[in-house]
Amino acid sequence: MLKRVRSQSAHSVLCCPIGVTLFPTPFPRAQFDQALKLQSIYNELYCAMTEDEHWIQTTLQEILHVNPLAAALWEIHQDVKRVGGYTQNISCGIFRSDYMLQGDGTSKLAIDPADGSISIPQLKQVEFNTFSCAGASHAQKTVDMHRHFTRTGAYNSLTNGNSPVGLAALPENNNIQSLAACLAGAHTLYGQAKSKVAAETAVLLLVQPQNFNIADERPVEYALWNQASPVPAYRVEWGDNLLEHTSLSKTKELLFHPPWLQSQVPIEISVVYLRAGYEADEYDHVGKMARVRLETSRAIKCPSLLAQILTFKKVQQALTEPGSVERFLSPNKAAKIRKTFVPMYPLDESQAGLQARNWATDSDVARNYVLKPSLEGGGHNVYGANIPDFLASVARSAWCAYILMERIHSPAVYNVLMSPQGIGSGPVVSELGVIGTCIWKKTTEGSEFLSNTVAGWSYKTKHTDVDDMSVVKGYGCFDTPLLY
């Protein structure tokens, strides 16, 4: 479990360990099971949204002039339509829905002194990710570590034989195999090579140069090769390398020309798994050309361009508005989804947006909110009392790029966190991420599921005096839920 250190760092160490907790952190079993059951419904929701271009455009129209990434992706979408449109009607998704527990306003688990019963907090969604969901491999390795400590009795030695940790309370995690199975399933659906010049097919992993997430990506790549029927998988860096080592046939097959092979026979790409292309600066002229090539090809994309666009926080906020979820789901399923929502507001010039602007600029009221931009990678949110000063530094015309979300007040427990910054103990709160995989086909009536699976989960924990949960930024640690 390593994170590659960016080359700008002023030392020669190439990797550092990912932060983990010493002990598993308690999490109610009922809410864990609830989150798992909800994922197939969330998959259904986001797949249906992906095929509703009108709803997407209406939802994001206002932020296109203030969000460079949204503008770039929408421009590419228009370019694809201008040059002939999308060739492949099958899409693949690896999604993650993140949750925290909403307590009763106290800073700890509420226990009734009369009978010792625990007041169970409610499951509330933090965000939904549709693109390059990182951490799945690290999450599985962390569970393996905690289960190993439990088997060997390490926790008994640390607690004088009174450890509450048992294997039955530590859920198993098979993220790596599940993600590989999804990609392998899409590879199988693609079928044999269709180009006259290619003899075989493969999955293409699209990654960033100097990629700090390589240790999280490689296990999925290796798991593809380790399938009962091995699925070839190759890595290509975003940008110039992608354009140099791929081409489109006349019939839109995406052909990969491995630089290390002497043969002139290309490999036809069945599935493109994108782990790059989520930052605005990746979409210069070369980046846009590369994405248009991918999107116009016959390769199955994981995810598609429109599915990526749905990861924006503006979409999450729009779903809280009356009728939005119900546009895509049955009333029963929509009600289950809505129970996980917390209040979210636009910062535009609508009536709700103007009210939210008043709250966000009032230092006392703002303490109960989080300001969220539509950026990936963690560490971009602005919390509580810092919101008014931050907004004062941003042109009011750009405020619509943010959404205001009510803070989730999770009950705290005690744990020890181990990170590259050191070891610290004290009160902590956790975040559960549930991973879903799905493959669907676009139809004249919307979308048709070919697979819809709850693939696994991740669990992260941070100190209560730290706002951001980002493991990448060094704030949070990977963890395992101790179910009770």
Cα separation of 125 and 99, whole Å?
4
Cα separation of 294 and 243, whole Å?
10
pLDDT digits (tens, 9 = 90+) for 233-260: 999 999 999 999 999 999 999 999 998 8
Residue 381 labelled as part of a binding site: yes
Checking if the pLDDT of 112 tops 80, the result is no
Residue 468 labelled as part of a binding site: yes
The confidence score (pLDDT) of residue 114 equals: 47
Residue 288 labelled as part of a binding site: no
pLDDT digits (tens, 9 = 90+) for 470-479: 887 788 999 9
Residues 6+ apart with CB under 8 A from 263: none
Tokens 């666009």 belong to which residue? 309
Listed in order, strand segments (DSSP E) in 257-315 are 267-274, 300-302
The pLDDT-based confidence of 10 (bands split at 50, 70, 90) is: low
The three-state secondary structure class of 252 is coil
Checking if the pLDDT of 271 tops 50, the result is yes
The confidence score (pLDDT) of residue 2 equals: 58
pLDDT digits (tens, 9 = 90+) for 453-467: 999 999 999 999 999
Residue 327 labelled as part of a binding site: no
Residue 196 labelled as part of a binding site: no
Residue 19 labelled as part of a binding site: no
Residue 44 labelled as part of a binding site: no
Residue 379 labelled as part of a binding site: yes
CB atoms closer than 10 angstroms to residue 195: 19
The three-state secondary structure class of 302 is strand
pLDDT digits (tens, 9 = 90+) for 382-404: 999 999 999 999 999 999 999 99
Residue 462 labelled as part of a binding site: yes
The confidence score (pLDDT) of residue 248 equals: 98
Spacing of C-alpha 484 from chain mean position:
26
Residue 375 labelled as part of a binding site: yes
Residue 127 labelled as part of a binding site: no
Distances (CA, A) of 409 to 42, 98, 101, 121, 305: 23, 15, 7, 10, 34
Q: How big is the CA angle at 466 (ends 463 and 471), to the nearest 5 degrees?
A: 80
Nearest alpha-carbon partner for 289 in 248, 257, 258, 255: 248
Cα separation of 134 and 95, whole Å?
10
pLDDT digits (tens, 9 = 90+) for 295-340: 999 999 999 999 999 999 999 999 999 999 999 999 999 999 999 9
pLDDT digits (tens, 9 = 90+) for 48-82: 999 999 999 999 999 999 999 999 999 999 999 99
Residue 423 labelled as part of a binding site: no
The pLDDT-based confidence of 417 (bands split at 50, 70, 90) is: very high
Amino acid, res. 159: T
Residue 407 labelled as part of a binding site: yes
Residue 62 labelled as part of a binding site: no
Residue 240 labelled as part of a binding site: no
Domains of the chain, each with CATH number or no CATH: 2-342+408-483 (no CATH), 345-407 (3.30.1490.50)
